[in-house]
Chain A
Amino acid sequence: MTSAAEVRAAVAATHRSDWARIVGGLIRFTGDWTLAEDSAQEAFETALQRWERDGIPPAPGAWLTTVARNRAIDRMRRVATEQRVLRSAAALDPAEPDADDDRLRLLFTCCHPALGLEARVALTLRSVAGLTTAEIARAFLVPEPTMAQRLVRAKAKIAHAGIPYRVPPPELLGERLPGVLAVLYLLFTEGYSATSGDAVVREPLAEEAIRLARLLRELMPRETEVSALLALMLLHHARRAGRMGESGDAVPIDLQDRALWDAVAIDEAVTLLRRSGSRGPYALQASIAARHATSPSWEATDFEGIVSDYDALLLLEPSPVVALNRAIAIGMADGAAAGLDAVRQVADAPQHLALAAEADFLRRLGRREEAAAMYRSAIAVARTAPNRRYFEARLREVET
């Protein structure tokens, strides 16, 4: 007899390390996503009962692979499928050399551009990360049947439209990899942007994204932007304890207690970034985050370096938000007057961000009445309650 707690921990650990490989292998042999996921799910449920009675097997991943494969064969027998498929499924060897490829195949297929972005994200969480439909539905605040249907539709499109189950060949890899990275980063920001009520529910999303980025890096060690994306996620995530104020609202970076930042994660990220040698969009964003994360204080931050990173990023990905952040960095490097000028030159920036930036520079220039008016406009267009409360606090500051 093994204690229930030990078994739960062992099953959870194997779920994290082996789920994608098991599902990926079953899909390759059966061609049936739902059957593969259901069989894997059943195998993990079986492990919870059996391991308590018989003890945790010496190779839990291999044990689960075998049980999942047998479940898949049972299910296929029940629906009396082709003999050919049955034979190849029976030959699935848990220790086979291209097990890594199964996980990559799974990830690239989940992130195929012919699937809608929402479907890609949901499918990645279900098939690669092994979250249940209910967990994914909770994370995205949609009813479970809605999420279930989204997953069913995505799998149907993969089957019916002939989306290939494979890692794209080299000539396509360049255009497909950014799509995979975008899904992982979206997953991360989705978890990260929740700053109030939902934070408890969504933090696991950010951690899941980091885990998937680690997996992708392990599988594609030579793709430098994969390392850069992982570094970027780690840097943001390292500051999470400092972001959360006592009221539950986000604390802006200049007011955060840097002692709360995770120094180990920051070190790991900085090393990853340096070794990657990349100057792609994720590397530039990571470089900006690293300059913040490694500075002893807000005032000592290397804002000149940040401005030059933003210059490079603007060339790769011109966007009003990047332009606005660059303008704010100019204000930090060259003074509030230069910042105000730069902010006012940015076209099409999201209104609530542009107003807040202008208001902050006006406040620093001592132009309190103009700043107050600007904060009032920002309050009127704020998109979230924590945002609004932040502007209200700054408004009170300039009014006193």
Chain B
Amino acid sequence: MQYLFLIGSAPDAPAETEADDGPTIEEWAREVYEERGAGKMGDRLRPASEATTVRIRRGETLVTDGPFVEGSEYIGGFDVIECENLDEAVEIAAKHPMARHGLIEIRPVWSLGL
């Protein structure tokens, strides 16, 4: 199975000190990408204020400033993870430091098979 992790900040996240106990992002990346080979690609994202949205309407290309859905301003990073099943994906996500400081949305990849 392949999953996209959307790494988000959350308003209800616990105070920094309480959430500091656990792997750092460097430790997480080393385990998930190097040791397990589950991570395929991933990185941080520039803030939503620097997003650009593109759509074509009536043959015209419309370019607008900002993200396309409300809520996506919370997305600060992503990872593409390949693993056995949802339980393993949850286990990997739970070790990510942003699971403590924010939240992680796990979306199964719906492959077009191209």
Segment with Cβ contacts to A, from B41-49, B52-60, B80-88: B80-88
CB of B25 within 8 Å of the partner chain = no
Could you tell me if A162 and B110 are in contact, using CB atoms closer than 8 angstroms? no
Residues of B within 8 A of A161 (CB): 86, 106, 108
Interface centre among B85, B86, B108, B110 (most CB of A within 10 A): B86
Could you tell me if A160 and B87 are in contact, using CB atoms closer than 8 angstroms? no
Could you tell me if B87 and A164 are in contact, using CB atoms closer than 8 angstroms? yes
Classify chain A: how many residues form its interface, as a range: under 10
CB of A172 within 8 Å of the partner chain = yes
CB under 8 Å from chain B, chain A span 75-131: 112, 114
Could you tell me if B86 and A168 are in contact, using CB atoms closer than 8 angstroms? no
Contact with A along B88-114 (1 / 0, CB 8 A): 011000000000000000101010000
CB of B19 within 8 Å of the partner chain = no
Taking a contact as CB atoms closer than 8 A, the residue among B1, B84, B86, B110 that contacts A114 in the complex is: B86
CB of A346 within 8 Å of the partner chain = no
What's the Cα separation between A123 and B16 when bound, in Å?
39
CB of A338 within 8 Å of the partner chain = no
Residue of A nearest to B90 (CB): A114
CB of A163 within 8 Å of the partner chain = yes
What's the Cα separation between A168 and B85 when bound, in Å?
12
Classify chain B: how many residues form its interface, as a range: 10 to 19
Contact with A along B60-92 (1 / 0, CB 8 A): 000000000000000000000000111101100
A360 to chain B, nearest CB (A): 39
Taking a contact as CB atoms closer than 8 A, the residue among A112, A162, A172 that contacts B108 in the complex is: A162
Residues of A within 8 A of B3 (CB): 162
What's the Cα separation between A114 and B94 when bound, in Å?
14
Residue of A nearest to B1 (CB): A162
Residue of B nearest to A168 (CB): B87
Could you tell me if B84 and A164 are in contact, using CB atoms closer than 8 angstroms? yes
What's the Cα separation between A394 and B110 when bound, in Å?
61
Could you tell me if A160 and B85 are in contact, using CB atoms closer than 8 angstroms? no
Taking a contact as CB atoms closer than 8 A, the residue among A162, A168, A172 that contacts B89 in the complex is: A162
CB under 8 Å from chain B, chain A span 145-173: 160-164, 168, 172
Could you tell me if B85 and A163 are in contact, using CB atoms closer than 8 angstroms? yes
What's the Cα separation between A163 and B1 when bound, in Å?
10
What's the Cα separation between A112 and B87 when bound, in Å?
10
Residues of B within 8 A of A172 (CB): 87
What's the Cα separation between A160 and B111 when bound, in Å?
11
Residue of B nearest to A112 (CB): B86
Residues of A within 8 A of B87 (CB): 163-164, 168, 172
What's the Cα separation between A202 and B21 when bound, in Å?
47
B82 to chain A, nearest CB (A): 11
Residues of A within 8 A of B110 (CB): 160
What's the Cα separation between A162 and B2 when bound, in Å?
9
Interface centre among A112, A162, A168 (most CB of B within 10 A): A162
Residues of B within 8 A of A168 (CB): 87
What's the Cα separation between A69 and B75 when bound, in Å?
47
Could you tell me if A160 and B84 are in contact, using CB atoms closer than 8 angstroms? no
Contact with A along B1-29 (1 / 0, CB 8 A): 10100000000000000000000000000
Q: Please list the 3 inter-chain residue pairs (A to B) with the smallest Cβ-Cβ separation, ordered nearest first.
A: A162-B1, A164-B85, A162-B85
Q: List 22 A-B contacts (CB under 8 A).
A: A112-B86, A114-B86, A114-B90, A160-B108, A160-B110, A161-B86, A161-B106, A161-B108, A162-B84, A162-B85, A162-B86, A162-B89, A162-B108, A163-B85, A163-B86, A163-B87, A164-B84, A164-B85, A164-B86, A164-B87, A168-B87, A172-B87
